Amino acid sequence: MLESLLEPLPLNPESYVNRLLHSNDVPLDWEALVIRSIVSDGEDRLSQRRDETVEHNRVHRAILSPIRRMPMELVCTIFALASAQNTPPWQLGFICRSWRHYALSYPILWSSVTVPCYPRFYERKMQRLLSKLQTQLSRATNASLDVHWSCNDPDSRLLGLILPHSNRWRNVSFHVTNKCRLDWLLPTSGKLDRLETLEVENFGATTFPDVFTTAPNLRRVVLTQLAMANRYTPPIYLKSIPIPWGQITHYRGVFPGVRQVKFLQAAPNLLNCALEIAECSNFTPPANTTIILPHLRRLCLDGAASLLNVMAPELDELCFEFAFGMWVPHLIIPFIRRASCTLTRLVLWKCCLCAELTVALRSLPTLSYLLLENTNHDEKERFAFFATMAISGTDSDVCPHIVSMVYGYEGWDNHSTQDAFISMAMSRLRTQHSLRSQLSRLRVFRTAGCLERYDPPTLDMKHRIQMLQDEGLDVAFLRLCINLFIPFTPSIVETLRERMFCCQWCHACCAAAAAHSGNDGNHSDGLPGCNKFLELVDAGFG
């Protein structure tokens, strides 16, 4: 064998290769090595050719991609949904020529203008900012603008750039950090014809000039107090902001009770309202005072605001947010009776699944939508509640017409209560009674202790949700994180509500993107739903 390996190779290797190809001779050892080398080289060339063919097909298949045939309007709408809030899409132009063309020709993408708080001595930053704002305003052409002021006393060059476009302001927000007068807004008086939304995040006793009362299309007002008070420093509220309350249809605010009552009495055309009373547990509603809101459809309250005497006969959706340790379900029915309304939608945050809640729900037979976020860990009460909520087609059924339900929990490891929950859902899904509505949509989420952490469902919960899906129920576990360490106010509740209703749209977008990328569009936990954390950071409005 060694001798055969030491033999010199023939001058013409093709001759012995041909001999071996056309005979049944046993190759010598050195011949076998050469043949193996030839086979290996061929496999390498085949692999390279395969890779080249795959790449060739990929780049040519991309030409036929559905995204290339999307209308520009649809692509730009996706751009607007995917872009960070209040941020122009500066980076979209770096993707490809067509996307850059789309982005530059779609003014709405450039219509959100943020005026940051830069110290005057940062001249280079100021110059870059002025250049970017000028470019942005140019690309926005004549589109309505969303303007966000994060400074009390803007540089005169910024004012000279932004104020002349006040006739295009659609939404304007102010982030005020100390006591001041915003008299630099005076040049906008009488020019806010497009203004629809006014939002103020206030840290101090701010005074606004009378420029908004002449805005004919102003309908939405958000006034939030962000200063945290303590026993040494009382809260300082917005001092003065003239508003044409008679034309306002959407209001969300944090103020002492007396001012909230005045605002509501001056706003008879409200359709949507979220109230937080600053005094919390120390609030006493004014005697012999009835607030009449004949057109109100949605109302979100904290515990103190639920004591107000509000008459709203058209009220359709009611949301209660109770502070930790202040769950008082007995306030629900008296408020509804004072309001003289027939509810179809009820939302309860930080509630306990107790007998008192069952009594309250039993008095609301017209409910079709129910959201419960449970912070109670009493498994006996939770089991009893779910058992009571199961329907059997009798007169004792609680809320027999619910078609959509959302349930959030903080901790839930008890199999008995999980089974009771599934049985409750099954009873509402399988009801055949002509006077009972069938449950068609169920969402479940787990309250997390940290805003950035998503707590997936346990394997047991996955299995139970899958059982409901197999029965045909539209059910999903939401990727929802609620920070237990952030004060849970009606303002935050309103934001969460919008995020939860946006979940269906997000899921549709994710599914479309997954279809293009080859992904299955589901969560890593195997359950459908929104493929993005629903964060309670920015303040949306319904």
| 476-533 confidence digits (pLDDT tens) | 887 654 443 344 455 555 555 544 444 333 333 333 333 333 333 333 333 333 322 2
pLDDT band at 322 (very low <50, low <70, confident <90, very high): confident
| Nearest residue to 444 (alpha-carbon basis) of 491, 400, 408, 472 | 408
Angular region, 382: left φ>0, alpha ψ -120 to 50, beta rest: alpha
Which position has the higher pLDDT, 454 or 424? 424
The torsion defined by the Cα of 186, 192, 197 and 200, in degrees rounded to 10, comes to -10
Most confident of the ranges 35-39, 280-284, 295-299, 414-418: 295-299
What pLDDT, in 10s, does the model give residues 327-349? 677 788 888 989 888 899 999 98
Indicate the helix (H) or strand (E) that contains 115.
strand 112-115
Percent with pLDDT over 90 in the chain: 34
Q: What does the alpha-carbon distance between residue 496 and residue 482 come to, in Å, rounded to a whole number? A: 9
Least confident residue range of 103-107, 286-290, 447-451, 512-516: 512-516
Which pLDDT belongs to residue 525?
A: 38
Which pLDDT belongs to residue 284?
A: 83
Which position has the higher pLDDT, 8 or 216? 216
Indicate the helix (H) or strand (E) that contains 174.
strand 169-176
- The answer to whether 389 and 424 are in contact (CB under 8 A) is yes
| Nearest residue to 509 (alpha-carbon basis) of 101, 106, 74 | 74
Q: With 50 as the cut, is the pLDDT of residue 74 above it?
A: yes
pLDDT band at 25 (very low <50, low <70, confident <90, very high): confident
What pLDDT, in 10s, does the model give residues 138-197? 999 999 999 999 888 888 899 999 999 999 999 999 987 777 888 999 999 999 999 999
What pLDDT, in 10s, does the model give residues 188-225? 999 999 999 999 987 667 889 999 999 999 999 999 87
Q: What does the alpha-carbon distance between residue 287 and residue 272 come to, in Å, rounded to a whole number? A: 25
pLDDT band at 326 (very low <50, low <70, confident <90, very high): low
Q: What does the alpha-carbon distance between residue 244 and residue 267 come to, in Å, rounded to a whole number? A: 9
Least confident residue range of 51-60, 235-244, 427-436: 427-436
Which pLDDT belongs to residue 501?
A: 42
Per the document, the length of the chain is 542
Radius of gyration of the chain (CA): 32
Q: With 70 as the cut, is the pLDDT of residue 539 above it?
A: no
Q: With 70 as the cut, is the pLDDT of residue 405 above it?
A: yes
**Stretch 306-311: mean pLDDT, rounded?**
90
End-to-end CA distance of the chain: 87
What pLDDT, in 10s, does the model give residues 349-393? 888 888 889 999 999 999 999 999 887 778 899 999 999 999 988
Which pLDDT belongs to residue 291?
A: 94
What pLDDT, in 10s, does the model give residues 417-444? 889 999 999 999 876 665 667 899 999 8
Least confident residue range of 97-111, 222-236, 420-434, 456-470: 222-236
